[in-house]
Amino acid sequence: MTTLKELAALLNISVSTVSKALNDSHEISEKTRIRVKELATKLNYKPNRIAQQLKTNKSKTIGVILPTVTNPFFAEVLHGIERTATDNDYDIIVCLSNENYTKEKKSLELLSNGSVDGFIIAVARESQVKKQTEHIDAILKSKIPVLMFDRVVNEINCDKVVVDDFQSVYEATEYLIKKENRKNILLVSNIEELSVGKLRIKGYSKAVQAHDLKPEILKLDNAIDVDIEKRIYNYLKNNKIDAILSIDHITGIVAINMAKKLGKDIPKDLSVVGFGYEHTQLLSSPKISIIHQKAHKIGEMSMKLLVDSIKEEDHELKTIIVPSELKLSESSK
Amino acid sequence: MTTLKELAALLNISVSTVSKALNDSHEISEKTRIRVKELATKLNYKPNRIAQQLKTNKSKTIGVILPTVTNPFFAEVLHGIERTATDNDYDIIVCLSNENYTKEKKSLELLSNGSVDGFIIAVARESQVKKQTEHIDAILKSKIPVLMFDRVVNEINCDKVVVDDFQSVYEATEYLIKKENRKNILLVSNIEELSVGKLRIKGYSKAVQAHDLKPEILKLDNAIDVDIEKRIYNYLKNNKIDAILSIDHITGIVAINMAKKLGKDIPKDLSVVGFGYEHTQLLSSPKISIIHQKAHKIGEMSMKLLVDSIKEEDHELKTIIVPSELKLSESSK
DNA sequence: TTGTAAGCGTTATCAT
DNA sequence: ATGATAACGCTTACAA
């Protein structure tokens, strides 16, 4: 890599002159500026980013800690984060906690040494379930801004971007009751121990009770593939259900497949609503209705808010709610 | 952030003594070492990574350029990359090209200024289709190691990790012919212009011809959701087909759904094989058979090979082939 | 208009 | 055993 020093030596001028010339300083004569720039281009000179970072004490990098990226929700959020970061001249360092508290903690610690100017984090399942969050507090204490999205910790005071989990499920439930006239709505959950899962279940319960119906909830508690199918199949076989509301992005499609296996007519006998993303509806037949979380937007808003908080002198903490959209399957319209 | 200087001032000793004490130098007395370490712990001192990077001229960071991360294949590869990077004390900076040549080029340029010690890249669709790859050559010329995976450019000389695209599809086709006794195998493709797509189609064609059958290929050329369904539906309706081989991770499931709509009995009337990942089989009913690419392993091998190439004095370029595995649906066993 | 020198935080070499 | 100094590559206040 070419350095200022090398350019200076080749041109027989000082390092500072070269630096100023490249930065279009008024102090420098037209002639030398051109001379310097020509050589710089020729030798493909690029200012060493590390040196600049040391000088300015800014990394222009954000640490992004995600539980996983194989879940399409987080993948899409990451997409939004990356795009917005690029637009704001930031890089992102991505760490995956794998839903694991220890890994999450380690990642935060490793990066809180000047490597990043701030963090975007969706808390790992384990951290959330065990309520272990001092590692995040520690970061905040060291004055590095943190933004939490989706999986948030209420007790921690920082910027947040969340989905309207309660509201969207409440409305979806009400839709099933009022528009599709369903009475026996089963909620299927594989994420009941997460903050978002709890909120979604609350939204459902509240809506059901508001219409004097009784809640029915099938908690799969993190079951593995084959069990998911079996348990949903058995439940549908043994219970009179006319609608299914899945609060994750998998079990809704599985429920459709199991219902078909049982000879149910969708959407006549059974309405199915789930959470979904880019390809969810394409992968189901008949089409599932989905609560579409604006994952890309969540990523975008998160990065924007964090960048603002870094720039602003006296930033006041915000919580932004990104509304979801109920996308009906064509058949149910 | 606490610095060596601050520690030194507080302890009334020199910066270099502090540095040595923290690094367990033999030169330093037991007493001061303890004194230093205690204060360091108390003030939560962490060596500034940027300064260390400047000193060693190494970033211990790898730039990872992916076309997208919402495709589960790349998501899983990223998972493998991240894990292996962490195991080897590397960070990763992730950039998404969005299948776009310009963005890919810009990302490479922005990071080739000392920000990263090497690149892992899966070439964008546009770069591959238009055969624009000088930007990658430029990086190699500047002596930054590059590793390409999956979407590779044959003409470029660098380390590579690829899937056995030709072989796996050849074998899957042969399986359909020999074990399931299929005669009219339709290949469905939505990625025919990619290097991997071409190889997969070749594998299919070769196998079909080897058994004196005629190739049938439905090219969707990057169609959008609703068209995908229609075109597959119509094809199945108007043509006598007894097996479908999808070379991506979406159209196989869509084909199953369309076939069911047409009243076909799977797997009796029709065998379906596709490419797939973690949840692919869970999302289909009846179960699809999948060519399972070891995406996690691909990420792992890529990072390992790149790290090796960085460490080794005279590294000789390698191409590693990661074999896929044909995972039959239970019904077809 | 150009150059000198200090400093960002660290480590390594060379005194003391 | 401890400290002074230089160096990594860059920017910038200050001289010349």
pLDDT in tens, A120-171: 999 999 999 999 999 999 999 999 999 999 999 999 999 999 999 999 999 9
Question: Does residue B299 share a domain with residue B196?
Answer: no
- Closest chain B residue by Cα to residue A281: B225
What CA–CA distance (Å, rounded) separates B117 from B157? 18
What CA–CA distance (Å, rounded) separates B28 from B6? 19
Q: Tally the residues of chain A.
A: 333
Chain B positions in Cβ-Cβ contact with residue A78 (cut-off 8 Å) = 69, 94, 96
β-strand pairing of A216-219 with A146-149 = unpaired
What CA–CA distance (Å, rounded) separates A240 from A186? 9
Closest among A232, A224, A222 to A259, alpha carbons compared: A232
Domain-embedded: residue A137: yes
Closest nucleotide relative to residue B25's CA, C1' based? D1
Chain A positions in Cβ-Cβ contact with residue B51 (cut-off 8 Å) = 54, 114
Count contacts between A and B (CB, < 8 Å).
145
Nucleic strand D under 7 Å from the C-beta of A47: yes
The number of distinct structural domains making up chain B is 3
**Partners of A161 in the β-ladder:** A149, A320
Question: Does residue B309 share a domain with residue B218?
Answer: no
Question: Does residue A271 share a domain with residue A129?
Answer: no
Q: What's chain A's average pLDDT? A: 95
Domain-embedded: residue A145: yes
Interior/surface letters B104-113, b for 16+ CB within 10 angstroms, e for the rest: bbebbebbbb
Domain-embedded: residue B327: no
Question: Does residue A306 share a domain with residue A289?
Answer: no
Domain limits for position A241:
165-294
Q: Select from A256, A283, A296 the residue whose CB has the most chain B CBs within 10 Å, as the one to mutate to test that interface.
A: A283
- Closest chain A residue by Cα to residue B115: A49
Q: Is residue B302 within 8 Å of residue B161, measured between CB atoms? A: yes
How confident is the model at residue B226, as a pLDDT?
Answer: 75
Nearest chain A Cα distance for residue B211, angstroms: 33
How confident is the model at residue B330, as a pLDDT?
Answer: 75
Reported as a pLDDT band with limits 50, 70 and 90, residue A331 is low
pLDDT above 90 (res A329): no
pLDDT digits (tens, 9 = 90+) for A21-42: 999 999 999 999 999 999 999 9
pLDDT above 70 (res B333): no
CB contact under 8 A, A257 and B49: no
Q: Is A301 helix (H, G, I), strand (E, B) or coil?
A: helix
Give the whole-number percent of chain B exceeding pLDDT 90: 92
Q: Is residue B205 within 8 Å of residue B215, measured between CB atoms? A: yes
Nearest chain A Cα distance for residue B289, angstroms: 15
How confident is the model at residue A277, as a pLDDT?
Answer: 83
Helix ranges (H only) for B179-275 are 195-210, 225-238, 251-261
Question: Does residue A98 share a domain with residue A64?
Answer: yes
Domain-embedded: residue A331: no
Domain-embedded: residue B114: yes
Contact partners, residue A225, CB within 8 Å, separation at least 6: B279, B281, B282
CA B116 to chain centre: 18
The CATH number of residue A265's host domain is 3.40.50.2300
Question: Does residue B304 share a domain with residue B279?
Answer: no
| Sheet strand arrangement including B289-292 | B216-219, B185-189, B243-246, B271-276, B289-292, B325-327
Q: Is residue A89 within 8 Å of residue A60, measured between CB atoms? A: yes
Question: Does residue B214 share a domain with residue B304?
Answer: no
Question: Does residue B10 share a domain with residue B21?
Answer: yes
Give the whole-number percent of chain A exceeding pLDDT 90: 92
- What is the residue-wise DSSP string for B46-105? ---HHHHHHHHT---EEEEEES-SSSHHHHHHHHHHHHHHHHTT-EEEEEE-TT-HHHHH
Question: Does residue B188 share a domain with residue B133?
Answer: no
Q: What's chain B's average pLDDT? A: 95
Nearest protein residue by Cα to C1' of nucleotide C2: A17
What's the rounded mean pLDDT across residues B13-41?
A: 96
Domain-embedded: residue B205: yes
Query: Between the CA of B20 and the C1' of C15, what is the distance in angstroms?
Result: 16
- 3-class secondary structure per residue, B272-288: EEEEECCCCCCCCCCCC
What's the rounded mean pLDDT across residues B84-103?
A: 98
Chain A positions in Cβ-Cβ contact with residue B112 (cut-off 8 Å) = 46
Nearest protein residue by Cα to C1' of nucleotide D9: A51
pLDDT digits (tens, 9 = 90+) for A89-125: 999 999 999 999 999 999 999 999 999 999 999 999 9
What CA–CA distance (Å, rounded) separates A271 from B161? 45
What CA–CA distance (Å, rounded) separates B249 from B291? 9
How confident is the model at residue A279, as a pLDDT?
Answer: 81
Strand D-proximal residues of A, range 9-38, CB below 7 A, are: 15-16, 19-20, 22-23
Chain B positions in Cβ-Cβ contact with residue A46 (cut-off 8 Å) = 112-113
Nearest chain B Cα distance for residue A93, angstroms: 4
Question: Does residue A110 share a domain with residue A16?
Answer: no
What CA–CA distance (Å, rounded) separates B210 from B249? 26
Domain-embedded: residue A327: no
Sign of CA dihedral A97, A100, A106, A112: positive
Question: Does residue A176 share a domain with residue A158?
Answer: no
pLDDT digits (tens, 9 = 90+) for B55-93: 999 999 999 999 999 999 999 999 999 999 999 999 999
pLDDT digits (tens, 9 = 90+) for B224-271: 777 899 999 999 999 999 999 999 999 999 999 999 999 999 999 999
pLDDT above 70 (res B216): yes
CB contact under 8 A, B96 and A83: yes
Q: Is residue A278 within 8 Å of residue A292, measured between CB atoms? A: no
pLDDT digits (tens, 9 = 90+) for B284-319: 989 999 999 999 999 999 999 999 999 998 899 999
How confident is the model at residue A31, as a pLDDT?
Answer: 96
What's the rounded mean pLDDT across residues A191-211?
A: 96
CB contact under 8 A, B95 and A86: yes
What's the rounded mean pLDDT across residues A284-298?
A: 95
Question: Does residue A169 share a domain with residue A156?
Answer: no
Contact partners, residue B197, CB within 8 Å, separation at least 6: B189, B191, B247
Helix, strand, coil abundance in chain B, percent, nearest 5: 45, 15, 40
Nearest chain B Cα distance for residue A174, angstroms: 27
- Closest chain A residue by Cα to residue B281: A225
Query: Between the CA of B114 and the C1' of D10, what is the distance in angstroms?
Result: 13
How confident is the model at residue B331, as a pLDDT?
Answer: 64
Domain-embedded: residue B52: no
CB contact under 8 A, B114 and A48: yes
Reported as a pLDDT band with limits 50, 70 and 90, residue B221 is confident
What CA–CA distance (Å, rounded) separates B307 from A285? 45
How confident is the model at residue A221, as a pLDDT?
Answer: 82
Chain A positions in Cβ-Cβ contact with residue B49 (cut-off 8 Å) = 113-115
Nearest chain B Cα distance for residue A262, angstroms: 12
